[in-house]
Amino acid sequence: MNLKKIKNTLQDHLENCNIAYALLQEENGILKREGKPPSEEFLEKKRNLLPRLDESLTALKDLRETGLIKGELNRKLIENTQKKLMKIFLLDRENERLLLKMAVPSVPRSKVMKVSSGHLQTTYGR
């Protein structure tokens, strides 16, 4: 495998990560702005990206097995990809929280029954 192919593989994966991050940012905006889950059309965009991510991940695994990932440029590309992945994970977690908040209606504090510790001890036989 030549150095140009290695560089291209790393750049392709970083580009796919950038696209994924942009989609998650768009999803985050939808969730915050509209207060409802994204449309089926938007979800289809996310689904269409999955095969590209799978392909670039497979190519990365193949590169790792060859042991040919060396050099300052490759190291920088790998670091940039790792940083982007951390941003993706954080934003995805935030989006999941927003979706969960929408799926589970909040119960007003006035509706929550207050239970004494004595009642709990009696209930659980302690």
Domain boundaries, the chain: 3-123
Question: Which H or E element spans position 86?
Answer: helix 72-103
What pLDDT, on the 0 to 100 scale, is given for residue 123?
80
pLDDT digits (tens, 9 = 90+) for 28-76: 999 999 989 999 999 999 999 999 999 999 988 888 777 667 666 678 8
Interacting residues of 28 by C-beta distance below 8 A, sequence separation 6+: 91, 94, 95, 98
| pLDDT at 1 > cutoff 60 | no
Q: How confident is the model at residue 120 (pLDDT cuts 50, 70, 90)?
A: confident
Residue 101 pLDDT > 80? yes
Mean pLDDT rounded to a whole number for the chain: 86
Q: Is the dihedral of CA 94, 100, 103, 104 positive or negative?
A: negative
